[in-house]
């Protein structure tokens, strides 16, 4: 038997931990991420990452990681880590499409197009800011509701929308397709700032009775409400568990058996482009819900969690929206691998307004391609057995259970909302996430990294008045881009193009992330060449190799100040003897730097984003 310190790769190829550390350390030393005097074993710490739940994600899965992890069981069996079902029906997940355009005729056409081209279920957002409940007959006129499940959502008046939907079903006199759901979630609506004026108990009990009479589900515990408010992965699961527990208690008090109550509840989670944490989150959510249901006295067959994964709305960017296609593809892949029962891919242009036909087609085809061509759903739990995934699943499950304990210590989820402790924890994580985005430790392509100041955004029909405002990741960068600076920064490039390209690229991208254009001097051989190209800009940035900084950087700064430069930046770390006003290197707080630079250029303040703040609580 091989030692636990050996890493088995394939066949008879076995390498020791020390051999891997030596190889990895050699690469890190070349890149400067590991110092020469550091031991090879330091690669573990150098390559590991930490989630916002302070969970370490190892750079390499090894058997030791799962030595104390409980057996995840088999797919379709408790504790349901490996899937609520032994296999997916037809080797696919439910491709669910979201529609919320208040124009009933336009929505009806778009919905029919989706269902004729790969979608298998429908998610309708109802209310004054979306589809009016009275328009259900028009929207669903050509939909076979006995074949395609329909899930509704109405945040302001969930019970009223449920009444309208039930009347519609009764008038159609058909048996709704399995998976049809009234979508009630009064706690989630409250977290989002909506209120129906009814007690939660009233909504839950009346909704459950309406659903039970028609053989459909009643509730969607929408954990994306916590996710959108800044919650970490463990906090999102913990919130979902607490809401599910609250509904079970109310239903039990109304005379529902626990197994009957469980059959009425579905869960909705956010899938992000952090694929491993998304995979582990869905697996951990099933494990913890199984345990909660077990403690509630449920039969094992009733404890499998029905999961709807939707690609995160707050991870999408308004700028360079085409990158959202990549984000949602990774998120959908992770949701499928993680075992979600249904997956919704939000259109890439969702931050700009109501999606058009092209973006809806790309969204539904993302799932279709993953299912039909990549065969992601053909194997149940393909990530199962991977040491790193199993470790991360276990760590997330434990952290989520701890979060549930904190919520219950407040008296339950409604009490935790009322006393502010729940949202305070979510916002604290949101601030840390935004701080990491500000330092570009969590880069957002097209926004905080590689922005294109000359891009032309596609035009979309705006969302109706009253639509929920969202605080997207990197919202502070979006606010800066919304207000570009008319005056460019002059780049005092030092040396030939080959010598200064790296730092020019770095500083130009950084400034562009704040809506600031740059003008470069081009190839230069000394102070006179730079001065000849200088255009009198109030802000100047030196960009060149360290050798040039040391050789003639001080003379260049003095000459530029004499020529009119009022604020001088150096791209890179501080250099002795070169008297600049500030520097910009990797790890800089980009937002603080950009606000300072914009101020020196004479740009006014940006509404909603104060200097030094990331807007996480807006």
Q: What pLDDT, in 10s, does the model give residues 113-131?
A: 999 999 999 999 999 999 9
CB 464 within 8 A of CB 578: no
Domain positions in the chain: 89-415, 484-600
Nearest to 477 by CA among 600, 596, 594: 594
Place of tokens 């029905």: 306
Contact 275, 334 (CB under 8 A): yes
Residue 11 token pair = 């066949």
CA distances from 282 to 287, 353, 596 (A): 9, 29, 42
Token readout for 525 is 């051989």
Residue 17's pLDDT band (boundaries 50, 70, 90)? confident
The predicted pLDDT at position 91 comes to 87
The 10s digit of each residue's pLDDT in 63-73 is 989 999 999 99
**1 has a pLDDT exceeding 80:** no
Mean pLDDT, the chain, whole residue set: 93
Residue 609 has pLDDT above 50, yes or no: no
Q: Greatest CA span in the chain, whole angstroms? A: 87
Cα 80 from chain centre? 24
Length of the chain: 618
pTM: 0.93
How far does CA 68 lie from the centroid of its chain? 30
Over residues 361-376, the mean pLDDT reads 97
- Residue 256: pLDDT band by 50, 70, 90 thresholds? very high
pLDDT at 617: 33
Question: What dotted CATH number matches 89-415?
Answer: 3.20.20.240
pLDDT at 8: 52
pLDDT for the residue numbered 195: 80
Q: How far is CA 138 from CA 83, 121, 130, 586, in A?
A: 37, 17, 14, 55
pLDDT at residue number 180: 98
Choices 3.30.70.1350, 3.40.50.280, 3.40.50.2300, 3.30.499.10: CATH for 484-600: 3.40.50.280
Please check whether residue 326 is in contact with residue 315, taking contact to mean a CB–CB distance below 8 angstroms: no
Does the structure show a pLDDT above 50 at 613?
Answer: no
The answer to whether residue 501 scores a pLDDT higher than 60 is yes
Given this model, what pLDDT does residue 38 score?
94
Helix (H, G, I), strand (E, B) or coil at 203: helix
pLDDT surpasses 60 at 338: yes
- End-to-end, the C-alpha distance of the chain in Å comes to 57
Cis peptide before 79 (omega within 30 of 0): yes
């Amino acid at each position: 038997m091989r030692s636990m310190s050996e890493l088995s790769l394939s066949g008879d190829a076995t390498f020791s931990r020390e051999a891997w550390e030596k190889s990895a350390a050699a690469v890190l030393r070349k890149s400067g991420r590991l110092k020469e005097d550091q031991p090879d074993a330091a690669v573990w710490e150098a390559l590991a990452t930490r989630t916002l739940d302070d969970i370490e994600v190892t750079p390499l899965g090894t058997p030791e990681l799962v030595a104390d992890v409980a057996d995840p069981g088999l797919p379709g069996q408790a504790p349901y880590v490996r899937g609520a079902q032994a296999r997916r029906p037809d080797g696919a997940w439910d491709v669910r499409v979201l529609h919320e355009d208040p124009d009933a005729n336009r929505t009806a056409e778009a919905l029919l197009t989706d269902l004729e081209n790969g979608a298998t279920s429908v998610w309708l957002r109802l209310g004054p800011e979306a589809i009016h409940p009275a328009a259900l007959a028009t929207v669903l006129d050509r939909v076979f509701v006995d074949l395609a499940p329909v899930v509704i959502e109405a945040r302001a008046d969930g019970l009223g929308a449920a009444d309208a939907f039930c009347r519609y079903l009764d008038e159609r006199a058909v048996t709704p397709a399995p998976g049809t759901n009234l979508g009630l979630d009064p706690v989630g609506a409250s977290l989002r700032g909506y209120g129906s004026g009814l007690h939660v108990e009233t909504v839950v009990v009346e909704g459950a009775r309406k659903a039970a009479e028609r053989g459909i589900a009643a509730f969607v515990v929408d954990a994306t409400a916590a996710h959108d408010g800044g919650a970490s992965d463990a906090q999102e699961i913990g919130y979902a568990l607490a809401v599910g527990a609250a509904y079970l208690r109310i239903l039990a008090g109304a005379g529902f058996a626990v197994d009957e109550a469980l059959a009425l509840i579905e869960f909705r989670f956010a899938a992000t482009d952090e694929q491993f944490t998304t995979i582990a989150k869905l697996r951990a959510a099933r494990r913890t819900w199984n345990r909660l249901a077990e403690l509630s006295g449920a039969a094992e067959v009733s404890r499998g969690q029905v999961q709807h994964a939707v690609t995160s709305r707050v991870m999408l960017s308004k700028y360079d929206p085409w990158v959202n296609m990549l984000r949602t593809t990774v998120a959908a892949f992770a949701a499928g691998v993680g075992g979600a029962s249904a997956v919704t891919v939000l259109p890439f242009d969702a931050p700009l307004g109501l999606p058009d036909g092209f973006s809806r087609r790309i969204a539904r085809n993302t799932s279709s391609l993953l299912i039909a061509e990549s065969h992601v759903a053909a194997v149940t739990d393909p990530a199962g057995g991977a040491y790193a995934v199993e470790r991360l699943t276990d760590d997330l499950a434990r952290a989520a259970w701890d979060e549930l304990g904190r919520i219950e210590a407040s008296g339950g989820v409604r009490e935790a909302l009322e006393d502010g402790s729940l949202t305070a924890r979510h916002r604290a994580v949101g601030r840390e996430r935004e701080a990491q985005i500000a330092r570009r430790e969590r880069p957002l392509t097209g926004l905080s990294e590689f922005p294109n100041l000359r891009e032309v955004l596609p035009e979309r029909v705006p969302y109706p008045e009253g639509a929920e405002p969202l605080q997207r990741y990197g919202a502070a960068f979006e606010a800066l881009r919304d207000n570009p600076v008319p005056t460019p920064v002059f780049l005092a490039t030092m040396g030939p193009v080959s010598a200064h390209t790296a730092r020019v690229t770095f500083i130009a991208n950084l400034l562009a992330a704040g809506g600031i254009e740059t003008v470069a001097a081009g190839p230069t051989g000394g102070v006179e060449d730079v001065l000849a190209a200088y255009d009198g800009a109030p802000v100047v940035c030196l960009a060149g190799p360290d050798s040039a900084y040391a050789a003639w950087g001080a003379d260049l700064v003095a000459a530029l100040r004499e020529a009119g430069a009022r604020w001088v930046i150096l791209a890179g770390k501080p250099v002795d003897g070169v008297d600049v006003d500030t520097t910009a290197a990797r790890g800089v707080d980009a937002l603080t730097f950009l606000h300072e630079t914009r101020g020196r250029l004479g740009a006014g303040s940006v509404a909603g984003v104060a200097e030094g703040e990331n807007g996480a609580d807006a």
